[in-house]
Every structure is written in C-alpha cells, then in structure tokens.
C-alpha cells in the first residue's frame, strides 16, 4: 500500500463507527462509492474486527512503491 492508497482507504472509511469487521468496512466503502482499488485492498485484509482506521490501514498488504524492491517501509 502506498501513501496514496492509505489516503484512499482513510477517505472511504470517513464517518464509519468503529469497531467494525471486514464485511462492514467493505459495505461502508461500497456505499460511499469507493474505487475498485480501495475495495480490493479492503477485501484483502484479514477477517476480524478493527478498532479504528489505523488498524485497517496497517492490515492492508503492502505493495511496492516506485522502484523500491520488495515494497515500502511504514514510516
């Protein structure tokens, strides 16, 4: 996940009351007409309850950013 992806997930989940499970996250983002990349990212997280958006963002698998081999570091 890149910083841009993190912003997409953050925006898609604005207003959602936590805790929420993966299905609730996907349903909420779908209702907000999130783009397909955001929905794919949310569907890829482990099926569990999340206390807040930060936990959701941390759970999304990392994608390589630019020329960085093996993905990006969180920082």
Q: How confident is the model at residue 5 (pLDDT cuts 50, 70, 90)?
A: confident
Cα–Cα dist 48/8, whole Å: 21
Do 26 and 43 form a contact (C-beta atoms < 8 A)? yes
User: Where is pLDDT greater, at 41 or 5?
Assistant: 41
Q: What is the mean pLDDT of the chain?
A: 86
In three state form, how does the secondary structure of the chain look?
Answer: CCHHHHHHHHHHCCCCCCCEEHHHHHHHHHHCCCCHHHHHHHHCCCCCEECCHHHHHHHCCCCCCCCCCCCCCCC
Q: For the whole prediction, is pTM greater than 0.85?
A: no
């Amino acid at each position: 996940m890149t910083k841009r992806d993190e912003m997409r997930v953050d925006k898609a989940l604005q207003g959602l009351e936590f805790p929420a499970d993966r299905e609730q996250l996907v349903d909420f983002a779908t209702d907000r007409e999130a783009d397909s990349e955001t929905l794919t990212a949310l569907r890829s997280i482990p099926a569990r309850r999340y206390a807040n958006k930060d936990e959701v963002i941390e759970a999304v698998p990392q994608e390589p950013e630019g020329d960085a081999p093996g993905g990006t570091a969180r920082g």
